[in-house]
Amino acid sequence: MVINLAMYHLRAIEALHRLRSFTLAAEGLQISQPAVSRALAEAERRIGSRLFDRSTRSVVPTRLGEEVAAHASMAVATYDEALDRIARHMNGEDGIVRVACLPSVTATLLPHVIAGFRRDLPQVGLKIHDEPQENVAEKILNGTVDLGILALDSSIPAELEIEEVVSDKLVAIMSTGHRLAELKKLTWSDFSLEKFIGFDAVTSIGPLVDHAFAKHDVSVDVVQSARSIPAVGGLVSAGLGVSVVPEMVVPLVQFEGIVSIPICPTIERTLVVVHRKRGPLPAVVERFRQSLLA
């Protein structure tokens, strides 16, 4: 059985269910009360059953009416959201920019970008999702966010457009009392004799550091691993081992008693902004993307 209901039918059902009044529903929909009555009567005729019991004093949904109204509410919300996104895309001065990015990016790169963007477009909403590397691309592909900022690697899907934002080199961190703390530079082989605090594989840093060690044929003694940068910094500060982090995040691990030292040869983490290749970005999202690249 195929039931053909137009959006005006669904709007009438949703408004009557929410407001329980033909008068209020008509005011909310900005149409006449007879038009609401006709829309409901036509919807009930097409469905083949009564959706509301009405009298001069009340409008009460039937059991079927409750079910139909729930679906109508979702359909109306989805339709209105689509219209709203079209309008925001057209004017480029209002709406919401949704960004998924690595936690380290949220703490280091984004604040000054957001501050400048809000000065220019204070009415635009920003929704920032802190996510591990593996989740950022997924959120773009499923439509949860508009843009993603993550570390460049081979796992980024081909459906995404990639543009470099910034690169920063990997550096060593260790407690000030460590035997290597007085050196001006380290080599990758220096880590082979040290207890190492690693990052989980779901982070952007863990696989990059593992690749660096493999490239230079270095085996490390990983005594502990963690997911967050502050957690790794805390373990290093306690003297439990040394670690490697992107230079950009060093301010996040500047616990008392931690130093950072360059590593030669230099290996960099490249951060990129990604979005779907299909179709143009809404204008307001494009403006935020340009702010990131500036």
d(CA 145, CA 128) in angstroms, rounded, equals 9
Q: How far is CA 200 from CA 23, 25, 136, 197, 232, in A?
A: 59, 54, 16, 10, 10
Phi, psi angle pair for 20, to nearest 5°? 55, 35
- Residues 17/19/23/27 CA torsion (nearest 10 deg): -110
3-state secondary structure 204-253: CHHHHHHHHHHHCCCCCEEEEEECCHHHHHHHHHCCCCEEEEEHHHHHHH
Q: Is the previous residue joined to 111 through a cis bond, with omega within 30 degrees of 0?
A: no
Residues 275 and 293: their CA atoms lie apart, in Å, by: 13
Q: Are 76 and 11 in contact (CB under 8 A)?
A: yes
Helices (H) and strands (E) in the chain, counts: 10, 12
* Structural domains of the chain, ranges and CATH numbers in brackets: 7-91 (1.10.10.10), 96-154+276-293 (3.40.190.10), 166-270 (3.40.190.290)
- Whether residue 160 contacts residue 188, with contact meaning beta carbons closer than 8 Å, is answered with no
- SS3 label, residue 202: coil
DSSP reduced 3-state for 158: coil
The span from the CA of 117 to the CA of 55, in Å, is 54
pLDDT in tens, the chain (294 residues): 678 999 999 999 999 999 999 999 999 999 999 999 999 999 999 999 999 998 878 899 999 999 999 999 999 999 998 887 777 667 777 788 999 999 989 999 999 999 999 998 888 999 999 998 889 999 999 999 999 999 998 889 999 999 999 999 999 999 999 999 999 999 999 999 899 999 988 888 999 999 999 999 999 999 999 988 989 999 999 999 999 999 999 988 877 789 999 999 999 999 999 999 988 888 889 999 999 998
pLDDT at 88: 63
CB within 8 Å of 172: residues ≥ 6 apart? 180, 186, 190, 191, 242, 243, 244, 260, 261, 262, 263
Strand stretches in the chain, DSSP E: 52-54, 59-61, 96-101, 125-130, 147-151, 160-175, 186-187, 195-199, 221-226, 243-246, 258-264, 268-276
Would the pTM of this model clear 0.75, i.e. be above it? no
